[in-house]
Structure 1
Amino acid sequence: MSTLVRPYGDTTGDGMVQMSFTLPVPHSKVAEGAAAQLAQKMGMDPALVVHAKPMGPDFTFFVVYGRVSHLVDLDAVRVVERDYPLLTPKEANLALRKGLRRRLVVVGACIGTDAHTVGIDAILNVKGWAGEKGLEYYREIKVVNLGAQVAVPDLVARAEAERADAVLVSQVVTQRDAHLHNTRELSAAFREAFPPARRPLLVVGGPRFDEGGAETLGVDRVFGRGTTPAEVASYLVHRTVTRHSSPEVRR
């Protein structure tokens, strides 16, 4: 099987793709021409504007369909693979009882001005998401969900008071890279407040994060779109049990 692939639209390997974007211009024939020109400059040839819709008086949303000549080498793709076993709630609870011998403490929040709790609630609340129950369902995990718009200093203080093993932060608002700025602020604050051996695991997630950016952002793990509660729980169990069994035990 070839590792070189081309986009598929109408027939295999025809290179046809569809993309959408918004231009800060009122809807007109000129605006549609500008959208086609932009797509052509991005390597789409021919570029056909198949949808254009005004977004208020000064903006227009476009969908453009056309052909690109680029190939993708699957052997050159680098992604973050799951490097820990995926556990059921029963298996996770058993691993914590044997390896940690106490409840795992998790503090979660949306920080900064982010008021979208759907992500953090999907992971933490017992009702969960995608048919999986959240971390509140796990008997050996204590969950403290602080909700939305939590200031980073308040999150640090609560994590210290709860003796948290892990801090989970969800970021949905991404305008002007707010999620990246907030995450770097989070990392700096926790590294200043805790010695390395006592610092909680820092885990962030949201639909616009690059899962390979953990080191750049100064956190332990980044989860992207589609992450399930079981994936997060399994990661936390894997990391905390491993840490607890190391020579530098947190407590």
Structure 2
Amino acid sequence: MSIVRPYGDTTGDGMVQVSFTLPLVHDKRAEGAAIQLANKMGMDPAMLVHAKPMGEGFTFFVVYGKVNHLVDTEKVQVVERDFPLLSAKEVNAVIKRRMRRRMNVVGACIGTDAHTVGIDAILNLKGIAGEKGLESYREMSVTNMGAQVSVPDLVETAKACKADAVLVSQVVTQRDAHLLNTRQMSAAFREALPAGKRPLLIVGGPRFDELMTEELGVDRIFSRGTTPREVASYLVHALTGSSA
């Protein structure tokens, strides 16, 4: 079945739950405003199930209601993994066989982003979800620049390390800061290095759209749930053209 609708209490009943904050003091009028917003979003009927003050002059709401919208799964666009998922042993073997040297990887959080959880999960030895990070791969040389790295510093470090790939994590997304920073980063690398000499540019974070690689000027976007093994497998695929 390609046409589906949300499931709440019974199959196909169209029930959904949404949460949001309004800049209003919590009172009856604020609750009415929340219902009005839900109605304008297409929820009818809409039921207010939770309301809580969130500091002075703000209220957080949870609304439950029915929508009539349908989803055609055949029209959903996603980025499918187009490379095999390799083990650490296989990744190391490919690098040693095809590159005949260690793969150089530089990672950072750029701009004012101080959230290193994402980049550390991919690069640090301890890794995430039972997978060790890229620092554990004997055929990789990893430089983790940490947080709040300026784009010029990232470019200079990548040049100094002769980076094959640059990994950038962006968690802060207010006012689309992650998109602005990524565009600045890709433009800086294009200006600093000629085509064919630039490293792979890879960005990741929970709010990125994986379909925006061309628009942002990068080679790959990884979203939430990405593991070190996935990134390592992509790197050897993209840099060596080998699947194993």
1:242 shift after superposition: 2.5
Q: Deviations over 1:52-84 (max 9, x none)?
A: 111101111111100000111111111000000
Question: How many residue pairs get matched?
Answer: 242
The 2-side partners of 1:49 and 1:141 are apart by 53
The 1-side partners of 2:153 and 2:172 are apart by 20
**SS of equivalent residue, structure 1 residue 213:** helix
1:113-132 alignment, distance < 5 Å: 113-132=112-131
Verify: 1:57 aligned to 2:56, yes or no.
yes
1:99 shift after superposition: 1.1
The 1-side partners of 2:202 and 2:25 are apart by 42
* % identical aligned pairs: 73
Counterpart position of 2:154: 155
1:98 shift after superposition: 1.0
The 2-side partners of 1:99 and 1:55 are apart by 56
The 1-side partners of 2:52 and 2:153 are apart by 43
Following TM superposition, the consecutive aligned residue runs of length 4 or more in structure 1 with deviations greater than 3 angstroms are none
The 1-side partners of 2:232 and 2:28 are apart by 52
Counterpart position of 2:204: 205
Length-normalised TM-score, structure 2? 0.98
Q: Deviations over 1:9-28 (max 9, x none)?
A: 00111000001111111111
| Unaligned segments of structure 1, at least 5 residues | 244-251
Counterpart position of 1:247: none
Length-normalised TM-score, structure 1? 0.95
The 1-side partners of 2:241 and 2:29 are apart by 60
Verify: 1:186 aligned to 2:185, yes or no.
yes
The 2-side partners of 1:116 and 1:166 are apart by 21
Verify: 1:91 aligned to 2:90, yes or no.
yes
Alpha-carbon RMSD: 0.9
Q: Which amino acid aligns with 1:60?
A: T
Counterpart position of 2:12: 13
The 1-side partners of 2:241 and 2:189 are apart by 21
The 2-side partners of 1:152 and 1:185 are apart by 7
The 2-side partners of 1:34 and 1:135 are apart by 49
Counterpart position of 1:241: 240
The 2-side partners of 1:20 and 1:121 are apart by 30
Q: Which amino acid aligns with 2:150?
A: A
Verify: 1:145 aligned to 2:144, yes or no.
yes
